[in-house]
């Protein structure tokens, strides 16, 4: 932790302990919601840059990192979205922007529709668009489960390279250190919900400015999906990062911020 990092903390909201990391502390508040197996700390390198102009809160989604976990919790999309709504309320954040990646983008969409006045704008980074009757999400469940089970026994960066071959040594070390905090049933539920809970019907209901950021090499969002999203909500702004896979800031850090531009500050 360095640079813009301020502190890590816990708050009781929506009936659970929610852990978060805060960066910057000045400017427009931004709540960053990571993806399916990304504890908050793994987004620190992005939060550092965002915090140059924003007050950034990076969440540990339930069942991940240092937030509440275990067999008694509901890990469905609605519960995770409700967590974000209550998190912002509990910290008395004034209409923060939501920036969500992958699963986190789906959470951001649902949270914004739960309480539209609570958030000012959305950045939706390569959300899964699979669902009933749609093509499946390109990643497969064993990729997640196998790596989590290895991490529970202890895995190093070299072992993690088999799952994330393009990542830097620093990124691999961080994932190897923290992946064991991802509770397998939470990850399985979220992955299955990618295919059970269609996010497209939520798009026409969005009442705040929204950006859909698409990975050019991710295989998650195709042109037909973009066309459908725009037909449902023509106000959505499309940004592309052509040289990145699904983990956009990992693959093209500068491209991620170039695509984001001044959207969070408008």
What is the pLDDT at residue 222?
Answer: 97
Active-site pick, 158, 170, 222, 242: 222
Q: Which domains does the chain have, with CATH numbers?
A: 5-136+197-265 (3.40.50.1820)
What is the pLDDT at residue 1?
Answer: 54
Structural Rg of the chain based on CA atoms? 17
Active-site pick, 67, 79, 102, 130: 102
Task: Tell me how far apart the alpha carbons of residues 209 and 234 are, in angstroms, rounded to a whole number.
Answer: 11
What is the pLDDT at residue 266?
Answer: 87
Longest dimension (CA), the chain: 48
In the chain, pLDDT over 70 holds for what percent of residues? 99
Residue 246 annotated as catalytic = yes
Residue 222 annotated as catalytic = yes
Q: Would you give per-residue pLDDT tens digits along the chain (266 residues)?
A: 569 999 999 999 999 999 999 999 999 999 999 999 999 999 999 999 999 999 999 999 999 999 999 999 999 999 999 999 999 999 999 999 999 999 999 999 999 999 999 999 999 999 999 999 999 999 999 999 999 999 999 999 999 999 999 999 999 999 999 999 999 999 999 999 999 999 999 999 999 999 999 999 989 999 999 999 999 999 999 999 999 999 999 999 999 999 999 999 98
Residue 86 annotated as catalytic = no
Asked if 10 and 59 touch (Cβ cutoff 8 Å), the reply is no
- Sheet containing strand 5-13, edge to edge, reads 5-13, 16-23, 54-59, 28-33, 97-101, 122-125, 210-215, 237-241
Active-site pick, 19, 54, 101, 246: 246
Q: Give the pTM.
A: 0.97
Q: Where are the alpha helices (DSSP H) in 44-76?
A: 44-50
């Amino acid at each position: 932790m360095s640079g813009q990092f301020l502190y890590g903390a816990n708050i009781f909201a929506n009936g659970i302990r929610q852990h978060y990391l805060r960066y910057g502390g000045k400017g427009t508040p931004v709540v960053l919601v990571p993806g399916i197996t990304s504890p908050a700390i793994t987004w620190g390198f992005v939060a550092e840059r965002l915090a140059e102009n924003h007050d950034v809160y990076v969440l540990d989604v339930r069942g991940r990192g240092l937030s509440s976990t275990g067999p008694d919790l509901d890990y469905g999309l609605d519960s995770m979205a409700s967590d974000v709504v209550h998190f912002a309320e509990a910290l008395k954040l004034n209409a923060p922007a939501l920036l969500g990646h992958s699963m986190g983008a789906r959470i951001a969409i649902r949270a914004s529709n739960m309480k539209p006045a609570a958030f000012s704008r959305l950045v939706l980074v390569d959300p899964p668009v699979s669902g009933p009757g749609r093509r499946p999400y390109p990643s497969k469940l064993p990729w997640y489960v196998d790596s989590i089970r290895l991490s529970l026994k202890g895995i190093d960066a070299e072992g993690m390279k088999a799952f994330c071959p393009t990542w830097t040594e620093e990124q691999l070390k961080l994932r190897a250190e923290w992946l064991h905090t991802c509770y397998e049933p939470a990850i399985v539920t979220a992955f299955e919900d990618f295919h059970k809970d269609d996010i497209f019907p939520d798009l026409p209901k969005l009442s705040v400015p929204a950006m859909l950021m698409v990975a050019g090499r991710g295989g998650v969002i195709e042109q037909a999906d973009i066309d459908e999203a725009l037909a449902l909500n023509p106000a959505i702004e499309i940004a592309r990062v052509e040289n990145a896979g699904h983990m956009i800031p990992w693959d093209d850090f500068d491209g991620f911020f170039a695509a984001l531009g001044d959207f969070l500050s408008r």
